Chain A
Amino acid sequence: MSKTDEKAGLPELDLAASKKEFIETFFKRGAEFTEELMRENEKLRYRVVQLEEERRILVARGDPTPGSEGRTLRELVARIESLESERAALNKRFEGVARESHDFSTRYHEIERENNNLANLYVAAYQLHSTMDLREVTQIILEILLNFVGAKTFAIQLVDDERGRLRTLAAEGVDKQRAPEGGIADGPQAKVIATGKPFIDETRLGARADLERPLVVAPLRIRDRVVGVIVVWDLLVQKTALAEVDHELFNLLGAHAASALQGAKLYSELNGNSPALWRAADMV
């Protein structure tokens, strides 16, 4: 057999073999594909059964009617909204309570301060009328100014009508003799004696004592007549301002100190021989 014959017979053999091989492969692949499809189908059917079961459970838990999942979700959203608004209301209420608590705290401190002020005023008034001894009354007035008001350099001066001048009864922080005794017709003292109203120079707060420039001149009155003044030149270093109670103390001293001094003076003139109190009944 020539080479050409051999080559000429080969294509026929190859074609038949190829056809057979193709058909075998085709059917084999087909079988495999079919098997694969069946497996896939089985899986999907199993998944469908699973989902059906899950759905059944979900429906059994909630509303069995169709669309219950959406309704449950809406209900949950509504519940969240309701809780949110409840939280907002609680927050608002909490803020209100906190504000109220702050108001109570402020009020408590105000009452506490007023209580202290009243205690100071009570003690001052009580002490002023606790004795008929002129020296003791004077000492009490000095103590009130020093320990209650916090005055550092100050004096009690009385009007000497005969000489038309002020005369120093007692002084603290300055020698009695050095305290300037001005006339009753000039300076802040004169104004206070004429009007009966206290003089306060706020610009002198915190400044060192200048005997020519008083910080406070407060009247000492018996009824409407000014019989003397309290002159304050400076305050203790820790006292940087005059508080409401200080003004009240000046008012209290203005109304009570002079009468206490007057009473003590009259008592001293009796040389300790006080008349029987019951005789007062005849005088009333």
Chain B
Amino acid sequence: MPIALVVEDSPTMRQLIVFALNRIRGLQVVEADDGVDALRKLNGGKLDIILTDINMPIMDGLKLVKRVRSDEALKSIPIIIITTEGADEDRQRALALGANSYITKPIQAPQVIAKVKELLKIT
């Protein structure tokens, strides 16, 4: 059973993303408030995909992408970043650091589902 990690400091946004992901049959969802919490919950690479916001306290999404990509056990986990309109620079930086894809706010559930399915190769 694949597991997705949603990293978002806003409970509202996090709940909306989790709601969307819960519609993917068989996908389990784990939530984290920020990058540090995410690294703790990554559990040595036992997760299958990460969806992360960029602007977060303690450790932001860019640092999280960098840490994941430099960790031998985690570096192959696909990462989707969640950005706001106008944050092109952040988006480019995240992609350059190794993020696989991005979603722009306001998020649409079908878009989230499609991206996750694509990266997890779920039909």
Contacts and interface: CB of A to CB of B under 8 A. Distances in A.
Interface stretch (A7-15, A139-147, A183-191): A139-147
Interface stretch (B69-77, B91-99, B103-111): B103-111
A238 B85 CA distance: 8
Contacts, number: 52
Interface in A89-145: 112, 115-116, 119-120, 122-124, 126-127, 130, 140, 143-144
Interface of B: 10-13, 15-16, 19-20, 84-86, 104-110
B12 A123 contact: yes
A116 B106 contact: no
Q: How large is the interface on A (under 10, 10 to 19, 20 to 34, 35 or more residues)?
A: 20 to 34
A147 B85 contact: no
Contacts of A130: 11
A147 B19 contact: no
B109 A140 contact: no
Given A119-B109, A149-B106, A126 B85 contact: no
Contacts of B20: 116, 119
B109 A147 contact: no
8 contacts: A122-B19, A123-B16, A127-B11, A127-B12, A147-B13, A147-B16, A148-B16, A152-B85
A146 B110 contact: no
A119 B15 CA distance: 10
Given A119-B16, A127-B11, A147 B110 contact: no
Contacts of B85: 152, 236-238
Contacts of A20: none
